[in-house]
């Protein structure tokens, strides 16, 4: 078996109660026997746990917040590339994808590969536009509205019954049982993620998530459906089990064929008691539980890197149902000197 020696940068190292996908992506990459890896972590905060997980991340660099724009990000990535000779980069946060997509041609010229959707795809399937895509291609989605001021809360009763789902522009979701709860969550989410805040019809049923990889030409390279067994108050799955369901796979194939999605993704599905499948949202990157895909026989992050590097990759045809993940917390012990180093130099 040929081994590829690669240096790959990965963001999303915040392995906290609302974890980023970075650690799961890295664990998946390290499980690939064809890769001899050096992993470079990209962090926004000095206290992101992945920065101090030296058995997972070889070296970490802080990068500017997405709000700083693509120019500052490029300057930082050029510095990192000069020191590390990156082969590829995997951004894993919704909010940062726009900047990385804009820089993709420049990074390619530098010799740094990535596998990202187009700006049009990113916008066309975000929370503000998914209902338009669903209408065009005959997918079911909940009734959805967008508000940018608390004064609009009262008028929601014309379109929704309680309870309602209140979502942030990028992350987090809460169930509201009255107007005061909507306003409370509105202020929480708008302060954290910006406007608009998303209001959705509350759909009852079984919550299912599907991690997948699209080749950018309409072909699904792999997909793993999973039912959440425990969900936190922020709507994050804390445990889940892989399902065997051909209907879900066919739905995902149609989604990728219609969208021609390029890169990793997660579709959130609600299966009603009547057997209807509603797409609640589409996340334009791998989920935090993505390591479960590798455990179930479809190493989606590794396949994405092979595609990014121009290799020929065959779609996965099977996976092992019944694999479970249970997320947990533990105290990672480090030294204050490491915190001081990443804080003062931006490197560790």
Q: Is the pLDDT of residue 327 over 80?
A: yes
CATH of residue 92's domain is 3.40.50.20
**List of residues 6+ apart from 249 with CB closer than 8 A:** 223, 225
Asked if 223 and 163 sit in the same domain, the reply is no
Does residue 8 fall inside a structural domain?
yes
Distance of CA 94 to the CA centre of its chain: 6
**Residue 165 pairs with which residues in a beta bridge?**
175, 200
pLDDT at position 41, please?
98
Can you give the residue range of the structural domain that contains 174?
A: 143-201
Instruction: Please write the tens of the pLDDT for every residue from 147-161.
Output: 999 899 989 988 889
pLDDT at position 88, please?
98
Asked if 78 and 170 sit in the same domain, the reply is no
Q: Is the pLDDT of residue 135 over 90?
A: yes
Tokens of 278: 């509603």
Asked if 30 and 106 sit in the same domain, the reply is yes
Peptide bond before residue 268 is cis, with ω within 30 degrees of 0: no
Asked if 283 and 210 sit in the same domain, the reply is yes
Asked if 197 and 103 sit in the same domain, the reply is no
Asked if 258 and 315 sit in the same domain, the reply is yes
Asked if 148 and 69 sit in the same domain, the reply is no
Asked if 241 and 219 sit in the same domain, the reply is yes
pLDDT at position 170, please?
79
Q: Is the pLDDT of residue 141 over 90?
A: yes
CATH of residue 260's domain is 3.30.470.20
Does residue 134 fall inside a structural domain?
no
pLDDT at position 232, please?
80
Residues 65-72: what's their mean pLDDT?
96
Asked if 211 and 193 sit in the same domain, the reply is no
Query: Phi and psi at residue 299, in whole multiples of 5°?
Result: -80, 85
Residues 40-50: what's their mean pLDDT?
96
Instruction: Please write the tens of the pLDDT for every residue from 172-205.
Output: 888 999 999 999 999 999 998 899 999 999 999 9
Does residue 257 fall inside a structural domain?
yes
Query: Phi and psi at residue 262, in whole multiples of 5°?
Result: -115, 120
Q: What is the DSSP letter of 105?
A: H
Length of the chain: 348
Distance of CA 124 to the CA centre of its chain: 16
**Residue 6 pairs with which residues in a beta bridge?**
37
* Cα-only R_g, the chain: 20
Residue 44 and residue 260 in contact, taking contact as beta carbons nearer than 8 Å = no
Asked if 110 and 149 sit in the same domain, the reply is no
Does residue 135 fall inside a structural domain?
no
pLDDT at position 264, please?
98
Residue 264 and residue 220 in contact, taking contact as beta carbons nearer than 8 Å = no
Asked if 189 and 170 sit in the same domain, the reply is yes
Last residue of a domain, one of 169, 201, 233: 201
Last residue of a domain, one of 152, 184, 201: 201
Judged by DSSP in three states, 314 sits in coil
The domain tally of the chain equals: 3
Does residue 132 fall inside a structural domain?
no
Does residue 138 fall inside a structural domain?
no
Comparing C-alpha atoms, which of 116, 110, 13, 16 is closest to residue 59?
A: 13
- Strand-by-strand arrangement of the 324-326 sheet: 277-283, 262-271, 206-215, 220-231, 237-242, 324-326
Does residue 65 fall inside a structural domain?
yes
Judged by DSSP in three states, 9 sits in strand
Instruction: Please write the tens of the pLDDT for every residue from 221-279.
Output: 999 999 999 988 766 788 999 999 999 999 999 999 999 999 999 999 999 999 999 99
Last residue of a domain, one of 152, 174, 201: 201
Work out the mean pLDDT of the chain and round it to a whole number: 94
Asked if 170 and 220 sit in the same domain, the reply is no
Does residue 232 fall inside a structural domain?
yes
Cα–Cα distance for residue pair 199/167, rounded to 1 Å: 6
């Amino acid at each position: 078996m040929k081994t590829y020696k690669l240096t790959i940068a990965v963001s999303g190292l915040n392995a906290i109660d609302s974890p980023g996908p970075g650690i799961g992506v890295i664990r998946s990459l390290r499980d690939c026997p064809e890769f001899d890896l050096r992993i470079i972590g990209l962090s926004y905060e000095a206290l992101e746990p992945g920065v101090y997980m030296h058995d997972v991340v070889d070296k970490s660099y802080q990068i500017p917040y997405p709000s700083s724009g693509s120019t500052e990000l490029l300057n930082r990535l050029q510095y990192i590339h000069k020191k590390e000779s990156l082969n590829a980069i995997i951004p894993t946060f919704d909010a940062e994808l726009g900047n990385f997509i804009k820089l993709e041609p420049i990074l390619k010229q530098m010799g740094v590969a990535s596998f990202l959707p187009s700006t049009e795809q990113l916008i066309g399937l975000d929370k503000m536009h998914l209902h338009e895509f669903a209408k065009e291609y005959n997918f079911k989605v909940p009734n959805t509205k967008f508000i940018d001021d608390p004064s609009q809360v009262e008028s929601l009763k014309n379109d929704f019954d309680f309870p309602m789902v209140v979502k942030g522009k990028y992350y987090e979701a809460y169930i509201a049982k009255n107007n005061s709860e909507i306003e409370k969550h509105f202020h929480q989410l708008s302060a954290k993620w910006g406007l608009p805040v998303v209001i959705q019809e509350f759909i009852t049923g079984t919550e299912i998530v599907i991690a997948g990889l699209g080749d950018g030409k309409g072909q699904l390279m792999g997909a793993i459906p999973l039912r959440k067994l425990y969900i936190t108050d922020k709507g994050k799955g804390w445990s889940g089990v892989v399902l065997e369901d051909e209907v879900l796979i066919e739905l995902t194939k149609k989604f990728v064929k219609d969208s021609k999605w390029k890169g990793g993704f997660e579709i959130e599905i609600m299966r009603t008691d009547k057997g209807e499948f509603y797409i609640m949202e589409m996340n334009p990157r791998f989920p935090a539980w993505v390591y479960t895909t590798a455990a179930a026989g479809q190493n989606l992050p590794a396949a994405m890197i092979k595609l990014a590097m121009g290799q020929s990759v065959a779609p996965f045809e099977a996976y092992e149902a019944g694999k479970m993940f249970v997320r947990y917390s533990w105290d990672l012990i480090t030294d204050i000197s490491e915190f001081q180093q990443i804080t003062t130099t931006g490197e560790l």
